[in-house]
Structure formats: structure tokens, C-alpha cells
């Protein structure tokens, strides 16, 4: 039986800690909401927008994201998107927002059976609208070529893997790009930021089509080991 159906028919267990009684328990919900803040990778790759995230990619939050993306627990989309919406509200100004999800590689979409980032973006936009904040989703970006799985790649390998990896979809490319101006904030959306290579490449593809994304928002940020890492700021 698919995992999403099991969540409906069996007594729920918290995806973050395994405690019975709720899909996400209050303690793990608090960890997920964390403290929305600017967590831009350091050093940032060229062209990377300012990055905000709800919390760090550790512990219960890491387990929730993996369960949602890789193990079919799609019911987790709603609490994850709630954290994303809170972070967008914290990081963006008062202008209406257009959320642009970073596309998944086609093999990953086939393996997972769903598009995790687009799902989060659409639910987060709904949360923002319910709170009175104008928000839409524009699936502007598509893969230009095959992209390898980023897991296990070094910073340099991630940059090489993603070089010219995205383009703006034909339906949006051209004069339509001028639709987004000073009256609307374009926000890149992803689930996790590690080195920032994916978001920098997505921002480059948008700039190439005349769309400026000055902000990127994720559910979580990976704290890198060694001399570089996530730069926390206001």
C-alpha cells in the first residue's frame, strides 16, 4: 500500500521523531518552524540571491524532508509548506510575490512519483493568500539537459553539474518576462540549500530571460563543515 494511503488508515506517527499521535508532533513542529532567517551559503556562488530558510537541515527536519521527498509521505507537504510560507513572509517585503520552484530532474520525478518542490510552492502560496498576502506560483524553469544527482558531490562538482542546467520554459520566454517588475517580488523556492549552486543556476536562467529573483527561500539550510558554511544574518 502506498505510504500516503498508510498515513490515512493507520494511527499516525510523527515523521520527525516517531512519536505516536500526529503526523508531526508539537515538538517537531517547533523545530520545523525554527527561526526564519537569512542563511546564505558562505562563500556564495556568483549570482546567488539572498537565501532565507526556516531552520537547519538536521534532526527531525531532515527526517521530515526525506520522508516527504523520497518515501512517499506526501501528507507532510502541508506542514513543510507552512514553514516555507512563514519564511517567505519574514524574508520578503510587502509586495505581492511570485514563487518560482526549482525544477527536479526528470529521473527524480519519475522515481518519486510527485514534484516535491512545486507542491510545496503551491501550498505555501495558498497559505500566504489565506493570510492576506497576494501570492502566485509560476513554473518558469525547466531542465535544459540531464542533471546528475547532487548528493555526495563536492562544491566544485555541484557547480559543474549545474552549469547551464536550467532554462525558462518556452511558454514564458520572451516579452512575457517583462510582466515581473518592481510591483512584484520574484522568489526562488527549493526545499534545501547546501552550497547554493542550484539556486544560483536557477537565478542565472531567470536573468537570461529578463526576470530578476533577488530572494531565494528554502525549508532548511545545510550547515557545511570546515572553514566555510552558512552565513547567518538578519
- Measured CA to CA in angstroms, residue 132 lies from 1, 3, 11 at distances of 39, 34, 34
Q: Digits of tens for pLDDT over the chain (234 positions)?
A: 455 555 555 668 899 999 998 999 999 999 999 889 999 999 999 999 999 999 999 999 999 999 999 888 999 999 999 999 999 999 998 899 999 999 887 766 677 778 999 999 999 999 999 999 999 999 999 887 556 555 555 555 555 556 567 889 877 665 555 455 566 799 999 999 998 989 999 999 999 888 999 899 999 999 865 444 554 443
Domain architecture of the chain: domains with CATH: 35-233 (3.40.50)
pLDDT of 232: 44
34: region left, alpha or beta (phi > 0 left; psi from -120 to 50 alpha): left
Helix then strand count (H, E) for the chain reads 8, 9
Distances (CA, A) of 223 to 66, 153, 230: 17, 15, 6
Distance CA 38, CA 196 (A): 13
Closest CA to 198 of 172, 216, 180: 216
Cell 510523527, residue located: 14
Q: 75 is written with which cell numbers?
A: 501528507
**Residue 222 · residue 96 · CB < 8 Å:** no
* Beta carbons within 8 Å of 154's beta carbon, 6+ residues apart: none
Mapped to the 3 state alphabet, what secondary structure does 14-80 carry? CCCCCCECCCCCHHHHHHHHCCCEEEEEECCCCCCCEEEEEEECCHHHHHHHHHHHHCCCHHHHHHH
Stated pTM of the model: 0.83
Q: CA torsion angle for 82, 85, 89, 93 (degrees, to 10)?
A: 180
Q: What pLDDT shows up at residue 76? A: 95
Give the pairing type, strands 141-143 and 229-233.
Answer: unpaired
99 phi/psi in degrees, rounded to 5: -90, 130
pLDDT at residue number 99 = 96
Amino acid at each position: 500500500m502506498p505510504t500516503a494511503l498508510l498515513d490515512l488508515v493507520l494511527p499516525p506517527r510523527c515523521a520527525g521523531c516517531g512519536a505516536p499521535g500526529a503526523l508531526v508532533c508539537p515538538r517537531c513542529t517547533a523545530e520545523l518552524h525554527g527561526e526564519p532567517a537569512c542563511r546564505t551559503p558562505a562563500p556564495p556562488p556568483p549570482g546567488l540571491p539572498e537565501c532565507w530558510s526556516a531552520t537547519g537541515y538536521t534532526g527531525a527536519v531532515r527526517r521530515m524532508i526525506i520522508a516527504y521527498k523520497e518515501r512517499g509521505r506526501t501528507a507532510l507537504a502541508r506542514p513543510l509548506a507552512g514553514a516555507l510560507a512563514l519564511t517567505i513572509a519574514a524574508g520578503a517585503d510587502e509586495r505581492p510575490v511570485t514563487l518560482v520552484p526549482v525544477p527536479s530532474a526528470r529521473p527524480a520525478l519519475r522515481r518519486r512519483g510527485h514534484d516535491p518542490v512545486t507542491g510545496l510552492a503551491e501550498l505555501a502560496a495558498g497559505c500566504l493568500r489565506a493570510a492576506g498576502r497576494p501570492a502566485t506560483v509560476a513554473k518558469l524553469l525547466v531542465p535544459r539537459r540531464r542533471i546528475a544527482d547532487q548528493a555526495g558531490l563536492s562544491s566544485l562538482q555541484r557547480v559543474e553539474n549545474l552549469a547551464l542546467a536550467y532554462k525558462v520554459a518556452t511558454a514564458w520566454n520572451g516579452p512575457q518576462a517583462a510582466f515581473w517588475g518592481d510591483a512584484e517580488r520574484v522568489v526562488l523556492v527549493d526545499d534545501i540549500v547546501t552550497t547554493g549552486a542550484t539556486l544560483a543556476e536557477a537565478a542565472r536562467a531567470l536573468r537570461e530571460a529578463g526576470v530578476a529573483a533577488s530572494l531565494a527561500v528554502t525549508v532548511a539550510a545545510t550547515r557545511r563543515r570546515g572553514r566555510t558554511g552558512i552565513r547567518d544574518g538578519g
